[in-house]
Amino acid sequence: MSFDPETLVYDAKGLLPCIAQEAETGEVLMMAWMNADAVARTLETGRVTYWSRSRASFWVKGESSGHLQELVELRVDCDRDCLLALVRQTGPACHTNRRSCFYTALRDGDEVEIMAPMAE
């Protein structure tokens, strides 16, 4: 059965969340938004493409920073309203220069930074 990005369940703004996960280690790297065109571009190019809500434009992860996400596999969740992108990440995934955007843990009511920025 061939895949049609239009069969996914998008929110009222035409978006759905996409979680990026390192394919080899299972490390969760980040979450960003995609629309149908971003999904199609990602599948066509093998470079993960997101939709920037603040800029109202496409962005290819790593296009300006060099911290690329090469698509290994794109997965659809059971409700078809969220995607999981298994990727090969080059460098940090987070704009704070950390490997993952999930670098703050909630422990005993406190926020604890558990990951430092990567060396340049």
User: Over 90: is that where the pLDDT of 5 sits?
Assistant: no
Tokens describing residue 107: 């422990």
Mean pLDDT of all residues in the chain?
95
60-68, Cβ contacts within 8 angstroms, sequence gap of 24 or more: 61/20, 61/32, 61/93, 62/90, 62/91, 65/91, 66/90, 66/91, 67/91, 67/92, 67/93
CATH number for the domain formed by residue range(s) 5-113:
3.10.20.810
Tokens describing residue 12: 């009222």
What pLDDT is stored for residue 33 in this prediction? 98
Q: What is the domain partition of the chain in residue ranges? A: 5-113
d(CA 78, CA 30): 20
Torsion over CA of 102, 87, 45 and 90, rounded to 10 degrees? 80
Quote the pTM value. 0.92
Q: What is the mean pLDDT of residues 21-29?
A: 98
d(CA 33, CA 19): 9
Q: Which of 5-14, 19-28, 35-44, 60-69 has the lowest mean pLDDT?
A: 60-69
Band of residue 6 on the pLDDT scale cut at 50, 70, 90:
confident
Q: What is the mean pLDDT of residues 35-57?
A: 95
- pLDDT tens sequence across 54-107: 999 999 988 888 899 999 999 999 999 999 999 999 999 999 999 999 999 999
